[in-house]
C-alpha cells in the first residue's frame, strides 16, 4: 500500500510539472495551436450543352389486335396453326364442322333448279300468247296475265339465288381465315369443342406487330412544359418538332429502332391528372409483342445548361444542397434542379451561377464557415464525360 501511494504521487507530480512547463513556454503564448485547414478538391461551375432523357413508363400494343370469333355454330374440326405462330392474311386457321350449312346449299340449289324451270315455262307461255294476241285470236288480257306470271317466276328465281348466296356464305364461315398478317395468341378451344358466335372467348387473337404502339402519359405540369418548349400553333406542329424517341425494354436494353410520338390525347384524365401519348416504333423482326412494358425516353437538348455533378450534391429533408466555397470558407447552399438528370449531372435552375466554386465530393459533412484548403480541379476532369 505504501509503494502504490508513492507511485501515484510521483505521477501526479510529473503531470503537474509538464503542464506548468507548457504554460511557461514563451512560444505557445498560453493558447492551443490553430487547427490545420484540410484540403478539398473543388471546381468552378461551367455551362454546357446537354441532352436530358425524360423517361415515361409505357405499355406496348401491336398495330392491330383482332379477335378471331366464329360466325356460325359448330364443332372445331381442324386447327391449322399453333399458338404463337406467324400467320399471313387469308391463311386458314380453323375449320368448323357444320353439316347443316352444306344441306342449306343443296336445298337452295334444288329450289333454283325448280325456279329456273318455272321461269322457262312462263317465258314459253308468253312467247306462245303474244302472236295469238297480235292476230286478235285471244285478248291482250291473256298476254298480260302470262307476262305477270313470268315476272313472278323470275322473282322467285332471284329469291332462290339470294338464298343460295347466303347458304354459301354461311358454309364459307366454316373455314376461319386470318384477316391480317400477324402472330397468333392463345387457342383456348381444342378439337371437338362446340363454338358459336356468342362464345365468350375468341378462337384466338391475331396481333399485327409490324408496328408497335407505346402508350405513355404526361402529368399536367409536364404537358405544359411540352407545350411551351416546342413551337407550333397546333398539336401536330408541336409533335413534328419532337426528336425521335428511344425505347428501353424491360431487361434494360435499348431497342435498336427509333420511334416517333404521333398522337396526344385530347383530354386530361380527371382520375390520374395525366394526358395520354402514343409513340410508334417499327418492329421488322417481331422482337416486341403486344402486352409488354417498356420505358419511352424523349431526348431534350438544353443549351447553356449549368451542370453540377450528382456526387457534389447531398439531400436533406427533401432539399438538395452543395458546399460552395467563398475564398477559403465553406457555406451550405440550397439549389434547385430539373427533375430529370443529365447522365451523372443535375441541371441547376437556382442557387448557383457560372463561376461559383463548389466542393467536388459532398459525401462527408462540412460545417458552415469551415476553413478549407481548396484544390482546384481542371474543368476537363469534372466534365470529362460530356465531351
Encode burial over 323-340: b for 16+ CB neighbours within 10 A, e otherwise: bbbeeeebebbebebbee
- Could you tell me the pLDDT band of residue 224, with boundaries at 50, 70 and 90? confident
The pairing of strands 92-97 and 47-68 is: unpaired
- Could you tell me the pLDDT band of residue 13, with boundaries at 50, 70 and 90? very low
The pairing of strands 345-350 and 329-337 is: antiparallel
CA distance 288 to 256: 11
Q: Looking at the structure, give the CATH architecture of the domain made up of residues 99-172.
A: Orthogonal Bundle (1.10)
Provide CATH code, domain 39-51+303-386.
2.40.420.20
Name residues whose C-beta falls within 8 Å of residue 164's C-beta, 6 or more positions apart in sequence: 105, 108, 109, 111, 112
The cell for 145 is 296475265
What whole-number percentage of the chain has pLDDT above 70? 90
pTM: 0.62
**Ranges for all domains in the chain classified under CATH 2.40.420.20:** 39-51+303-386
- pLDDT digits 0-9 by tens, 286-310: 888 888 999 999 888 888 889 999 9
* Structural class in CATH, domain 54-63+208-301: mainly beta
pLDDT at 6: 41
Beginning with the edge strand found earlier in the chain, give each strand of the sheet holding 92-97 in spatial order: 175-177, 92-97, 74-79, 194-195
Amino acid at each position: 500500500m505504501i509503494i502504490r501511494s508513492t507511485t501515484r504521487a510521483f505521477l501526479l507530480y510529473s503531470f503537474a510539472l509538464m503542464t506548468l512547463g507548457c504554460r511557461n513556454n514563451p512560444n505557445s503564448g498560453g493558447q492551443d495551436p490553430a487547427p490545420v485547414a484540410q484540403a478539398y478538391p473543388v471546381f468552378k461551375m461551367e455551362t454546357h450543352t446537354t441532352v436530358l432523357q425524360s423517361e415515361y413508363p409505357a405499355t406496348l400494343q401491336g398495330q392491330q389486335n383482332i379477335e378471331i370469333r366464329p360466325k356460325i355454330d359448330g364443332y372445331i374440326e381442324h386447327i391449322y396453326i399453333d399458338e404463337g405462330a406467324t400467320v399471313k392474311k387469308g391463311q386458314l386457321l380453323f375449320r368448323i364442322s357444320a353439316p347443316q350449312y352444306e344441306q342449306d346449299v343443296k336445298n337452295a340449289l334444288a329450289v333454283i333448279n325448280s325456279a329456273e324451270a318455272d321461269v322457262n315455262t312462263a317465258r314459253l307461255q308468253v312467247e306462245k300468247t303474244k302472236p295469238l294476241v297480235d292476230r286478235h285470236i285471244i285478248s291482250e288480257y291473256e298476254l298480260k296475265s302470262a307476262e305477270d306470271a313470268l315476272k313472278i317466276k323470275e322473282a322467285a328465281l332471284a329469291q332462290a339465288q339470294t338464298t343460295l348466296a347466303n347458304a354459301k356464305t354461311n358454309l364459307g364461315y366454316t373455314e376461319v381465315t386470318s384477316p391480317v398478317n400477324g402472330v397468333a395468341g392463345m387457342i383456348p378451344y381444342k378439337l371437338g369443342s362446340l363454338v358459336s358466335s356468342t362464345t365468350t372467348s375468341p378462337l384466338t387473337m391475331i396481333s399485327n406487330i409490324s408496328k408497335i404502339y407505346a402508350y405513355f402519359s404526361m402529368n399536367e405540369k409536364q404537358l405544359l412544359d411540352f407545350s411551351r418548349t416546342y413551337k407550333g400553333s397546333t398539336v401536330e406542329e408541336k409533335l413534328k418538332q419532337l426528336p425521335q424517341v428511344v425505347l428501353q425494354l424491360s431487361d434494360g436494353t435499348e431497342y435498336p429502332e427509333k420511334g416517333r410520338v404521333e398522337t396526344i390525347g385530347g383530354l386530361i384524365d380527371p382520375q390520374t391528372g395525366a394526358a395520354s401519348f402514343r409513340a410508334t416504333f417499327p418492329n421488322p423482326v417481331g422482337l416486341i409483342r403486344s402486352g409488354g412494358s417498356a420505358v419511352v425516353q424523349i431526348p431534350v437538348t438544353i443549351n447553356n445548361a449549368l451542370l453540377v455533378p450528382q456526387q457534389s450534391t447531398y439531400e436533406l429533408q427533401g432539399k438538395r444542397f452543395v458546399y460552395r466555397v467563398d475564398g477559403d470558407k465553406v457555406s451550405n447552399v440550397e439549389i434547385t434542379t430539373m427533375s430529370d438528370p443529365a447522365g451523372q449531372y443535375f441541371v441547376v435552375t437556382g442557387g448557383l451561377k457560372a463561376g461559383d466554386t463548389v466542393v467536388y465530393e459532398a459525401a462527408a459533412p462540412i460545417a458552415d464557415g469551415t476553413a478549407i484548403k481548396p484544390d482546384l480541379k481542371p474543368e476537363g476532369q469534372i466534365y470529362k464525360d460530356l465531351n
